[in-house]
Structure 1
Amino acid sequence: MPITTCIFDAYGTLFDVSAAARELAGQEGHADLAACWQKVAADWRLKQLEYTWLRATAGRHADFWQVTQDGLDFALEASSLTRAETRQALLDLYWELSAYPEVPGMLAALKSKGLATGILSNGTPAMLSGAVESAGIGDRLDHVLSVEDVGVFKPADVVYDMVGQAYGCARDEVLFVSSNGWDAAAASGYGFKTVWVNRAGMPQDRLWAAPDVVLSDLTTIPEIVG
């Protein structure tokens, strides 16, 4: 079947999850963060993801905003950053993360080809709405789907089921794009065509399936779907 629907993970795929720490580190009065912001950003993201997996496995769901705060608290403590104003500023910035520069044009190109587009994310509806609005890409997305509708995080199959339910398409009509190798692999095993956006040049996760295509950014997505 030809691809009719292009679905994107949000955080790390369309939106730069390092942007909050990087931006705050560049502001006056945050020299302590400036000295370690890359570590804070990396620890924050890692713990955010780990906590989604652990909660899903244990059946102890909490929404992604809670998980995001928990991950940040770990990251700040790991770098001995104790100021409450730093924590609050980072959380505030997370609601308006920058989109990667190629995102608006890439989405516009997909829409010009008549393809359905959307987001499938662990993020809460409110978080995703804030990020989409801040990036100015809402008019280029048909649906923004949140796992809060099913109460479990990726890579549970019930999350990927949401795409077919929202778009009325078959699994092999979907191109699913994620910056998380495990997410792209799980979606491939589910039956989607998949792209792993491997911006950091990481090794591929050893899982039950593998992404169909690996790219370094999103620029050529419209070419992949023809």
Structure 2
Amino acid sequence: MPTPDILIGARAVVFDAYGTLLDVHSAVQRHAGSVGPDAKPLSDTWRQKQLEYSWVLSLCGRYTAFWTLTERALDYALARHPNVDPSLRPALLEAYRRLDAYPEVPATLDALRTQGLKTAILSNGDTAMLEMAVSSAALHDHLDAVLSVDPAGVFKTSPRAYDLALERLGVDRREIVFVSSNRWDVAGAAAYGFTPVWVNRTRQPEEYPDLAPVQVIDSLGALLR
């Protein structure tokens, strides 16, 4: 298989986890029958607040484990959508610990490694949270490294978070293709000097025009084309 242009000169492909390899909405979807008609808005609010809390803490110079932020965000989402039974909280949190991977993920990771590239996760998720998620999705054998921002003590898009990939993989930033479904994360990777790829599965509009992705794809499998 010929090497796609985006991968020429790369030594590693680093992925965001939540929303990129793992479907963050699969937790609520798993219990959609019990959640009821507010399932989608509940899931959207949960995700929005989870990310918002990470950005606010980073700007304040503070750090709290991402799992704690996930719990707090769900509490807000349940309060925001009072028609959802709050007794579902434990089940929803357990489902979030064991999110579904997108179906193309294992084959894509294996194909990249076959081409001699290192594969890794760099995630805002804390170490314990990531360990359970990656194990549950059976992705460990497809990855060379699973990196939490925990050691940096700050969330992406801080450069200190992206530094962790260089330290662990032993490559230059220009030798890393960074893949995320989160446009803000792609902007951070572009500012840092990675080669950023945006996985735009839901056809969101473009933003951050000064920090553009090198490539926009609709699924991870498109990395190989």
Q: Shorter-chain TM-score: what band?
A: over 0.9
Write out aligned runs for 1:196-211 (5 A). 196-206=198-208, 208-211=210-213
Residue 103 of structure 1 aligns with which residue?
A: 105
Give distance in 2, aligned partners of 1:222 and 1:162: 25
1:83 Cα shift?
A: 3.8
User: What's the Cα RMSD here?
Assistant: 1.3
Residue 14 of structure 1 aligns with which residue?
A: 21
Determine if contact 1:186/1:210 at 8 Å carries over to the other structure.
Answer: no
Determine if contact 2:99/2:136 at 8 Å carries over to the other structure.
Answer: yes
1:8 Cα shift?
A: 0.2
Residue 5 of structure 2 aligns with which residue?
A: none
Residue 168 of structure 1 aligns with which residue?
A: 170
Which amino acid is 2:142 matched to?
R
Q: How many residue pairs align between the two structures?
A: 218
Aligned with 2:19: secondary structure? coil
Residue 220 of structure 1 aligns with which residue?
A: 222
Q: Deviations over 1:191-219 (max 9, x none)?
A: 10010111111112226411111111111
TM-score (norm 1): 0.93
Give unmatched runs, 5+ long, in structure 1.
none
Q: Does 1:58 align with 2:69?
A: no
Q: What is the percent sequence identity of the aligned residues? A: 44
Give distance in 2, aligned partners of 1:34 and 1:81: 8
Which amino acid is 1:5 matched to?
A
Aligned with 1:219: secondary structure? helix
1:120 Cα shift?
A: 0.1
Write out aligned runs for 1:20-169 (5 A). 20-26=27-33, 30=34, 33-81=35-83, 83-169=85-171
Give distance in 1, aligned partners of 2:92 and 2:120: 26
Which amino acid is 2:177 matched to?
L
TM-score (norm 2): 0.93
Determine if contact 1:119/1:144 at 8 Å carries over to the other structure.
Answer: yes
Q: Deviations over 1:156-198 (max 9, x none)?
A: 0001111110011011100000000010111011110010111
Give unmatched runs, 5+ long, in structure 2.
1-7
1:9 Cα shift?
A: 0.1
Aligned with 2:31: secondary structure? helix
Which amino acid is 2:171 matched to?
C
